[in-house]
Amino acid sequence: MDALINEIETVIGIKFNQKDLLYKSITHKSLLNEDSDLSLESNERLEFLGDSIIQISVSDLLYKNHPDWAEGTLSQARSKLVNRESLAKLSIKLGLGKYLQISRGEEESDGRNKESNLADVFEALVGAIFLDQGFHNAQSFVNSFMIPLDIENPTTKDLLDPKSILQIKIHKHNKSSQTGKRLKYNTLSISGKSPNQVFTVDVSMDNKVLGKGTGSKKSEAEQNAASDALTTLA
């Protein structure tokens, strides 16, 4: 078991203090029917805990990254990011399926590749990280996957506007380079008279202009500037 735990710790980049928690997170309930070890526990309770941690982490992430989104849009985005399909994909990315402790029957029914099992083990892993490492580390673990997923998952692209995508890209860049640079939108000019005004805006970071845009509203010009910046950064 030690070799298995060490391998998982290497994969997730976290060294557990309580190794039994990590093992419990990968133990499917089907194994309890075949194993005579009465002390063995399934990952179901950890799933419950992990689900809550994921929900609050993603809620916080979306709230901060998308200041212009209404409550309904935030809820839609969260639902799509934390649904079974999305969490199963994260499990696949980590290769958690091969570590699942399952019964022979579950093995024969391709249990390692079942979407429900894969989603459940990711939730359980987050729950285990929370109990062993605390909320901050559990949240950081979740966010390390959710920040890129917010952009890359095709089910959420329809909810993302250029400003949001640019903000997330910059956030991701700052995290990897350990810098604290921020985007700044500047109104360069306003021409014409209401309601036919044209706003010209640029977006910059660290005094470097990344893109420019125009629009009949300031918000529209900012979105177009962000879109121009994304083209430049692509």
Residues in the chain: 234
Per the rule left: phi > 0, alpha: psi between -120 and 50, beta: everything else, 207 is left
Q: How far apart are the first and last CA of the chain?
A: 45
Which of 81, 71, 232, 66 shows the shortest CA–CA distance to 163? 66
- As a dihedral over the C-alpha atoms of residue 54, residue 57, residue 61, residue 64, rounded to 10 degrees, the angle is 150
44 belongs to the catalytic site: no
E-state strands within the chain: 183-191, 198-205, 208-215
Q: Which of 47, 106, 120, 123 is catalytic?
A: 123
Q: Which amino acid is at 129?
A: I
DSSP class of residue 182 equals -
Contact between 58 and 81 (Cβ < 8 Å)? yes
**Alpha-carbon distance 164 to 70, whole Å?**
13
**Alpha-carbon distance 87 to 149, whole Å?**
10
123 belongs to the catalytic site: yes
Q: Which of 47, 51, 202, 228 is catalytic?
A: 51
3-state secondary structure of 203: strand
**Alpha-carbon distance 224 to 68, whole Å?**
15
The residues assigned a catalytic role are 51, 123
